[in-house]
Structure 1
Amino acid sequence: MLNETNLSRTDLNLLVLFQAVMNEGHVGRAAQKLNLTASAVSHGLGRLRLLLNDPLFLRTPKGVVPTERATQLAAPIADILARVSQVVSTAEPFDPAISRRTFTIGAPDAVMAVVLPPLLKALRFAAPHVDVRMRQLLPPHGSRTSEDAWSPALAELDARTIDIAIAPVKDIPARFVGQSLYEENFIVVSRTGHPYAKSPSLEKFCEMQHLLVSLTGDSRGFVDDLLVQRGAARRVVLTVPNFMLALAILAETDFIAAMPRRLAEIHAKQFGLTCTEAPMPLRSDPLRAVASKASLTDAGVAWLFGLLRNMLPARRPMRMQKRRTNA
């Protein structure tokens, strides 16, 4: 946006002034917001017009309207100011009790549903002014290994678009730090009173109509790979793109689904669901919080990283429906 010649004589306050006038649509109101005089704002706009070679704002009876150039610049300037604010805030001592920082955490939706309730509770007491932005981590289409599935999360950590990632990442490069939060395995979930839960078996599991959480609509998952190894197969009648929607549908239908244990146990009562041990060993994933070593030099990110480690209580298992030993 600004060439090297102009950058050396650019006053960052001019960008703050630009944003205020853009938001207010009025020089006088922008001056009040910035605690400046209207003439000071007008003078600053004059300098900015010379710098950017555009009128930027045109006067009207009700205030000012941005030019096409100003409209194009609004988002980039807002991004620059946000990044500068983040840099400055990370240089200040971090006190969670008074901090007004915003942190971004990336996680799959099933992990969000497990982590968010205790995180919000912890923040309410320890850091009441801290804000959190959650970004859903999505594995690339066709990924079959953990390394393929969560490599985009590591890229986002490198780019600092997220501060911390929470995902079933097993191996991480040396430039990152990982810490285990909990172990997640899969169980069978169905509505309360479902006939499958009364006498679960592998044969009955294969006879049922299945729901599968699939971001792409692909009806084949890791359960199908395990069934093939046993010379069996199932019918996936419905795919949905996220786990919370899956829980709601299971509550109202005769579908069954393999679901993450912690997620299902937390929400089973709310949705009226029954959790049943699977008729064969299913996948177990270690859920880890991951951050770059560079980001952990930021006292705020380091504090949040430690909070996540100590936040999750030990799981209290529900009473589970057992599978038949002859399954």
Structure 2
Amino acid sequence: MNQIHFNQLSKIDLNLLRVLVAIHRERQLARAATELSLTPSAISHALRRLRDIFDDELFVRSGRYLRPTALCEKLAPELNEVLARMQGLLSRGVNFSPATTQRVFRIGMPEAIEAELYPRLYRQFQHAAPNAKFESLAVPHAQIGDYLLNRKADVVVDVAIAARAPVMQRPLLKEPFAVLSREQDKNQLTQARYLASKHIAVSTRARGSVLEDLLLKELGVERDILARVQSYQTAAQLVSQTGALLTLPERIAKQLVTQYNLRNWPMPIDVPATRLQLYWHSAYQHDPALSWLLAEFDGIASDSF
């Protein structure tokens, strides 16, 4: 592996390292330039300097994209982490006032829970920080750490996943499941009827089992899935049209009953309540703005774990 001599360190500044990390993430010079608010020519010049410093091509052309070399593939993730921790360290000394801040806070959450949870979050946050902006965005499970590290999201709300340090997490909410059927449905929803029925599954992921099916499989139970959609609103419409059943968190079920003329049943199988976790990155945990945001989430939790 190429060695960087001490006299080369004087050639390195943080802006160059930010360029390397941005190109590694975006795989295109133009997109890296947009991310860093620089011109493409400035990015090209920075890349030439980086290649000279590291005595390595760092990126090679592969069609429309740039493919990182072995050295770059090793350097970029570690540099990204170092830059994030430096940014987090510097933010400790920045004054933060919720009453006056105009910061944009980005909150990752699945589309399936946004309609129920985001309005509650917005009301609470906007009351404490009236000049701030709050944005909701979808964050793929596999990319939660990347979104948090690169501040594409300040926090993420999602179901429990296998996340390890430097991604931090804590319980946020838990809620029992309910089942929706057509409004004119008068038959009692027993376990036998539940298992014999067709079901609508909700997930923003293209494949893989949804949460309730994972919990049911632990009990040795499998459902017959009629359709898989991305939102509970679409699923509720399908329930009213097809007679299939929809399993979902109780709070969301109560919202959809009137809107789509459905009937709400208790879950006939004893499965654990759905649990939402709050995720953030340890590099920024001492940022006063993030500390405030995490504290505000304490007011959202309606159940203790």
Q: TM-score, normalised by structure 2?
A: 0.63
The runs of 5 or more residues in structure 2 that have no matched partner are: 1-9, 17-28, 40-82
- Say which SS state the counterpart of residue 299 (structure 2) adopts: helix
1:163–1:9 CA distance, 2 compared to 1 (3 A): closer
Cα distance change, pair 161–218 in 1 and its aligned pair in 2 (3 A)? closer
Match of 2:224 among 226, 235, 239: 235
Q: 1:184 aligns with which of 153, 175, 180?
A: 175
The secondary structure found in structure 1 opposite 2:97 is coil
**Letter in structure 1 aligned against 2:116:** V
1:217–1:240 Cα contact (<8 Å) kept: no
2:252 maps to which of 244, 263, 268: 263
Post-superposition CA distance 1:180-239 (Å, at most 9, x none): 2211332211232224xx311122223323211244565965656676787875432222
1:231 to 1:299, Cα distance in 2 relative to 1, 3 A: closer
Structure 1 residue aligned with 2:114:
112
Aligned-pair identity in percent equals 21
**C-alpha displacement of 1:164:** 0.7
Amino acid at match of 2:181: S
Instruction: Provide closer, same or farther for how the CA distance between residues 90 and 131 of structure 1 changes in structure 2, counting only shifts above 3 A.
Output: farther
> Secondary structure at 2:157's aligned position in 1?
strand
1:248 matches 2:237: yes
Unaligned runs of 5+ in 1: 11-69, 140-150, 316-327
Query: Does residue 37 of structure 2 align to residue 78 of structure 1?
Result: yes
- In 1: Cα distance, 2:30 partner to 2:185 partner: 57
| Helix, strand or coil at the partner of 1:294 | helix
CA contact (8 A) 2:118 2:136 kept: no
Q: 2:101 is aligned with what amino acid?
A: S
Report the TM-score when normalising by structure 1: 0.59
Q: Are 2:129 and 1:162 aligned?
A: no
1:72 CA displacement: 7.7
Preserved contact between residue 185 and residue 285 of structure 1 (Cα < 8 Å): yes
Q: Within 1, Cα distance between the matches of 2:281 and 2:232?
A: 28
- The corresponding residue for 2:262 is 273
Match of 2:188 among 194, 199, 211: 199
Counterpart CA distance in 2 for 1:117 and 1:269 is: 19
Structure 1 CA distance, aligned partners of 2:271 and 2:237?
Answer: 23
Superposition deviation, residue 281 in structure 1:
1.7
Q: Which has the higher contact order (CA 8 A, sep 6+)?
A: 2
Paired residues in the alignment total: 238
Partner of 2:143: 152
Residues 203 and 229 in structure 2, CA contact (< 8 A), matched pair in contact too: yes
Shift of 1:116: 0.7
Q: CA deviation at 1:240?
A: 1.0
Per-residue deviation, residues 138-168 of structure 1 (Å, max 9, x unmatched):
34xxxxxxxxxxx532342233321111122
Q: Amino acid of the residue matched to residue 190 of structure 1?
A: S
Instruction: State the secondary structure of the residue aligned to 1:311.
Output: coil
Q: What secondary structure sits across from 1:167 in the alignment?
A: strand
Counterparts of 1:9 and 1:235, CA distance in 2 = 54
Q: Which amino acid aligns with 1:97?
A: A
Alignment RMSD (CA, Å): 4.0
